[in-house]
């Protein structure tokens, strides 16, 4: 508001506004409040090193769908890739955390030694004790820590930059696309290949139609998401690069194909002959 007043006094003073992810609604609100008609310089907020997976099925069960987390922790212990599991409510965070803890038993601790500092899993939301919140924040930031899997609400995140998160799991609905993309984008801040997986139990909110489209898995997930962040004054052609990506020519000699489509999303991966 005060910026709008200042700009009234100094109409010719240059001003610059910056954002990592902004959609049309937020852009309109901000420019209206600031009484501003800016020149837009923007790129779609892509995160090319994150593979976008969507798991669609009829029914979702924590103990069935997240069993791979338990299996991974049993196999790899403190070498399991650092993983964030986001859920919408504190209750669901507790449910997932309780499931993991029960299924793992002593294996919920590094070297099966049940000392609090050896915890491989933790949870975070507004109602967990201050002591656990502090421990979790310190340990998720520490590359040497035993902590591998953090189950959390949206409460975790603001201002915390953890570079080496290899997997983000989004369990169930998310309030809107901006939050969804920010949460998925917590994976691979160090630029290394990472995965973000959505289990779309249900959808909600202003962007419900978009979430439903992603859930249908007929169009590239990345394209649908990035399209949401194209501002009206921007050329839609900034997303053409997604169409130009070459599929694998069946020349790859490893078990896992590394072509641009196989690294993109669940939908594109399906279109690669390697993975047919
Ligand atoms: Zn794709
Ligand atoms: Zn291939
Ligand atoms: Zn491929």
CA–centroid distance, 184 to ligand 2, in Å, is 26
pLDDT at site 1 = 64
pLDDT at site 255 = 76
Is residue 202 assigned to a domain? yes
Residue 21 sits in the same domain as residue 101? no
Residue 82 sits in the same domain as residue 215? yes
* Ligand closest to the CA atom of residue 226: 1
How is the beta sheet containing 167-171 ordered, strand by strand? 50-54, 194-199, 167-171, 83-87, 149-152, 121-124
Nearest residue to 224 (alpha-carbon basis) of 30, 19, 5, 54:
54
Nearest residue to 158 (alpha-carbon basis) of 130, 119, 124:
124
pLDDT at site 29 = 86
Nearest residue to 223 (alpha-carbon basis) of 265, 263, 182:
265
Is residue 275 assigned to a domain? no
Contact of 196 with 167, CB cutoff 8 Å:
yes
pTM confidence score: 0.91
Cβ count near 182 (within 10 Å): 17
φ, ψ for residue 254, nearest 5 deg = -105, 170
CA–centroid distance, 257 to ligand 2, in Å, is 4
pLDDT at site 275 = 59
Is residue 111 assigned to a domain? yes
CATH code of 184's domain: 3.40.50.300
Instruction: With H, G, I as helix, E, B as strand and everything else as coil, classify residue 121.
Output: strand
CA–centroid distance, 159 to ligand 1, in Å, is 29
CA–centroid distance, 49 to ligand 3, in Å, is 15
Is residue 160 assigned to a domain? yes
**Rounded-to-integer distance, Cα 128 and Cα 153, Å:** 11
Is residue 226 assigned to a domain? yes
pLDDT at site 257 = 86
pLDDT at site 159 = 77
* Ligand closest to the CA atom of residue 252: 2
CA–centroid distance, 269 to ligand 3, in Å, is 6
| 202-222 core/surface letters (b: 16 or more CB in 10 A; e: else) | ebeeebeebbebbbebeebbb
Q: What is the CA radius of gyration of the chain?
A: 21
Is residue 270 assigned to a domain? no
Residue 25 sits in the same domain as residue 133? no
Instruction: With H, G, I as helix, E, B as strand and everything else as coil, classify residue 74.
Output: helix
**Cross-strand pairs, 84:** 150, 168
Instruction: Give every CB contact of residue 97 below 8 A, 6+ residues apart in sequence.
Output: 121, 122, 123, 151
* Stretches in the chain below the pLDDT threshold 50: none
pLDDT at site 238 = 80
Residue 190 sits in the same domain as residue 225? yes
Is residue 93 assigned to a domain? yes
pLDDT at site 88 = 95
Residue 114 sits in the same domain as residue 9? no
How many domains is the chain built from? 2
**Rounded-to-integer distance, Cα 170 and Cα 163, Å:** 18
Q: How many residues does the chain have?
A: 276
pLDDT at site 53 = 98
Q: Nearest 5°: CA angle at 81, between 189 and 141?
A: 55
Domain interval for residue 111: 50-250
CA–centroid distance, 167 to ligand 3, in Å, is 20
Residue 149 sits in the same domain as residue 208? yes
pLDDT at site 253 = 72
Is residue 255 assigned to a domain? no
Q: What is the 8-class DSSP label of residue 34?
A: T
Residue 16 sits in the same domain as residue 118? no
CA–centroid distance, 255 to ligand 3, in Å, is 10
Residue 109 sits in the same domain as residue 7? no
pLDDT at site 23 = 81
């Amino acid at each position: 508001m005060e910026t709008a007043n200042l700009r009234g006094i100094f109409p010719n003073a240059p001003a610059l506004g910056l954002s990592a992810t902004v959609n049309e609604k937020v852009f309109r609100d901000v420019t209206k409040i600031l009484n501003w008609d800016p020149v837009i310089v923007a790129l779609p907020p892509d995160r090319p090193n994150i593979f976008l997976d969507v798991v669609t099925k009829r029914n979702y069960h924590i103990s069935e769908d997240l069993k791979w987390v338990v299996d991974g922790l049993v196999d790899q212990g403190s070498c399991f890739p650092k993983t964030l599991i986001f859920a919408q409510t504190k209750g669901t965070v507790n449910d997932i955390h309780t499931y993991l803890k029960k299924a793992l038993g002593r294996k919920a601790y590094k070297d099966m030694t049940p000392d609090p500092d050896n915890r491989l899993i933790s949870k975070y939301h507004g109602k967990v004790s201050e002591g656990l919140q502090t421990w979790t924040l310190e340990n998720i930031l520490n590359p040497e820590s035993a902590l591998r899997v953090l189950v959390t609400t949206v409460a975790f995140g603001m201002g915390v930059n953890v570079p080496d998160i290899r997997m983000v799991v989004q369990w169930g609905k998310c309030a809107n696309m901006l939050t969804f993309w920010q949460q998925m984008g917590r994976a691979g801040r160090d630029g290394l290949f990472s995965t973000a997986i959505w289990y779309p139990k249900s959808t909600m909110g202003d962007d419900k139609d978009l979430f439903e489209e992603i859930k249908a898995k007929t169009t590239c997930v990345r394209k649908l998401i990035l399209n949401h962040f194209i501002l009206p004054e921007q050329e839609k052609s900034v997303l053409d690069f997604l169409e130009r990506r070459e599929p694998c020519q069946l020349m790859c000699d490893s078990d896992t194909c590394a072509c641009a489509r196989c690294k993109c999303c669940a939908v594109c991966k399906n279109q690669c002959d390697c993975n047919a």
